[in-house]
């Protein structure tokens, strides 16, 4: 028994409808199967031809009327007896494989080209990364040198502070000595003043003696 099924709807192409019907034909054991897409006056159409025993054909008709691919939009399903030749189901499966491979080749070529571009991008990124690492190493070297210079300056500063402290200590000791000398000088001046006071009365007596000798006519 042979059957022709016409499925019509706004979206029955590019939703896997032919492969959906073929897988069910294989599952039902239909020895003949062929399906093709065509455009109706308004909507898209899928024409399926099947050959097998009466029970399998009835099951295929019921399945085509009740089920559809997930993204398909179906408005009508018609079925009629068919009298022409129908391709063997296995042969059609091979044709579908070839069609799928033919569709896949451009995609595979695009993927290959994308991979080549990705390799180029990876090389560019690697080069940029290497250059960045070199710059980081240069910055690190400069930083290390700067740290060494800072340590040298710190060491020089510490030595200078030590020298300043030594000078300050010497200055403090010198000031102490100056204060001691000043104290001794002040004490000496006080002693001199005291001696002067002791000497002054003797000076006054001598003056009186000379005056009296003058009055007496004595030399």
> What is the tens place of the pLDDT at every residue in 76-106?
999 999 999 999 999 999 988 887 777 777 7
Share of the chain above pLDDT 90, in %: 41
Task: Spell out the domains of the chain, with CATH numbers in brackets.
Answer: 2-87 (3.30.70.100)
How many whole angstroms separate alpha carbon 65 and alpha carbon 79?
Answer: 9
Q: Which residue has the higher pLDDT, 149 or 17?
A: 17
Which of 9-13, 14-18, 37-41, 189-193 shows the lowest mean pLDDT across its residues?
189-193
CA separation, residue 50 to residues 65, 89, 203 (Å):
15, 9, 166
Residue in the block written with tokens 């005291």: 194
How many whole angstroms separate alpha carbon 59 and alpha carbon 45?
Answer: 21
Which of 132-146, 152-166, 182-196, 203-217 shows the lowest mean pLDDT across its residues?
203-217
The answer, as to whether pTM is greater than 0.85, is no
By the 8 A CB rule, do 13 and 74 touch? no
How many whole angstroms separate alpha carbon 63 and alpha carbon 5?
Answer: 11
* DSSP H or E segment with residue 78: strand 76-81
């Amino acid at each position: 028994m042979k059957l022709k099924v016409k499925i019509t709807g706004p979206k029955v192409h590019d939703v896997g409808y032919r492969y959906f019907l073929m897988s069910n034909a294989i599952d039902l054991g239909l020895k003949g199967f062929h399906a093709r897409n065509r455009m109706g006056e308004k909507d898209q159409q899928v024409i399926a031809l099947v050959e097998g025993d009466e029970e399998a054909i009835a099951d295929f008709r019921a399945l085509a009327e009740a089920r559809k691919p997930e993204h398909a939009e179906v408005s009508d399903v018609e079925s009629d007896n068919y009298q022409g030749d129908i391709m063997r189901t296995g042969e059609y499966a091979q044709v579908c494989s070839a069609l799928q491979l033919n569709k896949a080749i451009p995609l595979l070529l695009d993927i290959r080209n994308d991979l080549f571009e990705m390799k180029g991008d990876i090389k560019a990124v690697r080069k940029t990364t290497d250059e960045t690492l070199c710059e980081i190493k240069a910055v690190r070297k400069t930083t290390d040198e700067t740290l060494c210079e800072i340590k040298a300056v710190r060491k020089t500063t510490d030595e200078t502070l030590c020298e300043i402290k030594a000078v300050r200590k010497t200055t403090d000791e010198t000031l102490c000595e100056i204060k001691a000398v000043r104290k001794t000088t002040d004490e000496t001046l006080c002693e001199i003043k005291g001696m002067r006071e002791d000497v002054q009365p003797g000076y006054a007596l001598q003056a009186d003696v000379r005056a009296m000798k003058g009055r007496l006519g004595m030399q």
